[in-house]
């Protein structure tokens, strides 16, 4: 289908304006994301409705810990990505191309079919996950509108590398947004993702929260030797605090060797615990240790009285003592949406 966010360029080319890469794309070719291409001097989304993953999955695995804890959601993804992470753990999808008819090999799911599938399986929400959700913005937009009309909630997983117009097109229809804060500065982002201006991503996600009222959680995957030194951790913790507030859940997750970084060891648990400590010292009230089965750092503890409020297994919330979003002991409002 004809894409949103582009302009014609001389010679039958198009310029994609979805994200700050602003790819200028020759006829018959695709942009850096590999899923938006020039066809007949117009920019097309090659992956509209083309679903590479369809699963019912716990919301904690996105991860969202403060949004409908314990819920299962219909999780959808497609091919391609505009943020080329060297340690991507879904690289089989994110580095796949939609060119040469590859997207047509995937099954097509119309927006109303996605909603019907969620309803059929009694799933309360739909998540766009396992890859960058912004790259199939047109489809996400249409599914989210249909989902909201049906009374479902919507979740969006992103590195935030999109233009403001793209965010403003999507965010009114998105309830919860998970942001990947990859590194403390442009050097780290450039090395890990080929994106050199992380301020764009922080601005966009702050706008989602402030102007559009999206629930925001932040993940930093800690890659040994890349972004796990004390200064980097302190800087990232302060970015979360200053941009999104002390009550924002910050997930520091264990890197597992993948793709171009398969030579790097996985993150030591002690590093994750140090990161959580640094986050708390910076003033964040909810810092979670992720990707470590059995670790107590995935439970939610009331920052006021110390009571465990949500106890999580490795896959999802298993015990939940929230009362109308509040701590059952001291009554503190914890900013956790839904699920009690």
Residues that bind Zn ion (CB under 5 A): 302, 304-305, 307, 327, 329-330, 332
CB of 317 to Zn ion, least distance (A): 17
Q: Which is nearer to Zn ion, 112 or 332 (CB)?
A: 332
Q: Which is nearer to Zn ion, 167 or 302 (CB)?
A: 302
CB of 223 to Zn ion, least distance (A): 34
Q: Which is nearer to Zn ion, 194 or 307 (CB)?
A: 307
CA distance 94 to 86: 11
The residues that bridge with 221 in the sheet, in sequence order, are 253
CB of 332 to Zn ion, least distance (A): 5
CB of 302 to Zn ion, least distance (A): 3
Q: Which is nearer to Zn ion, 214 or 317 (CB)?
A: 317
CB of 319 to Zn ion, least distance (A): 16
CA distance 10 to 41: 10
Cβ neighbour number for residue 239 with a 10 Å cutoff: 21
> Residue 127 has which token pair?
């998540």
Question: Residue 135 has what DSSP assignment?
Answer: G
CA distance 298 to 304: 18
CA distance 112 to 273: 43
Q: Which is nearer to Zn ion, 20 or 328 (CB)?
A: 328
Cβ neighbour number for residue 8 with a 10 Å cutoff: 13
CA 5 to chain centre: 21
CA distance 208 to 204: 6
């Amino acid at each position: 289908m004809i894409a949103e966010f582009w302009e014609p360029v001389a010679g039958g080319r198009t310029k994609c304006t979805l994200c700050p890469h602003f790819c200028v794309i020759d006829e018959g070719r695709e942009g850096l994301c590999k899923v938006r291409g020039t066809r007949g001097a117009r920019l097309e989304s090659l992956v509209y409705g083309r679903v590479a993953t369809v699963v019912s999955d716990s919301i904690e695995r996105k991860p969202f810990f403060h949004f409908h804890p314990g819920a299962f959601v219909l999780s959808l993804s497609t091919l391609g990505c505009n943020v080329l992470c060297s340690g991507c753990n879904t690289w089989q999808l994110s580095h796949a191309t939609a060119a040469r008819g590859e997207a047509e090999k995937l099954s097509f799911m119309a927006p109303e079919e996605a909603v019907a599938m969620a309803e059929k399986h009694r799933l309360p929400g739909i998540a766009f996950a396992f890859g960058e959700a912004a790259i199939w913005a047109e489809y996400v937009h249409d599914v989210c509108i249909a989902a909201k009309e049906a009374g479902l909630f919507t979740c969006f997983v992103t590195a935030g590398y999109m233009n403001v117009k793209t965010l403003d097109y999507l965010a009114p229809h998105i309830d919860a947004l998970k942001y990947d804060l990859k590194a403390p500065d442009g050097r780290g982002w450039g090395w890990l993702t080929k994106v050199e201006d992380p301020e764009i991503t922080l601005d966009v996600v702050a706008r989602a929260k402030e102007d559009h009222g999206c629930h925001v959680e932040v993940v930093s995957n800690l890659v040994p030797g890349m972004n796990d030194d004390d200064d980097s951790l302190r800087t990232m913790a302060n970015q979360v605090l200053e941009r999104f507030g002390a009550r924002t859940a910050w997930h520091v997750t264990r890197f597992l060797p993948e793709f171009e970084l398969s030579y790097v060891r996985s993150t030591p648990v002690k590093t994750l615990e140090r990161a959580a400590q640094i986050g708390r010292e910076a003033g964040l009230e909810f810092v979670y240790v992720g990707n470590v089965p059995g670790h107590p750092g995935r439970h939610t503890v009331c920052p006021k009285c110390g009571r465990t409020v949500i106890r999580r297994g490795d896959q999802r919330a298993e015990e939940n003592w929230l009362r109308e979003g509040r701590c059952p002991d001291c009554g503190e409002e914890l900013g956790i949406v839904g699920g009690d």
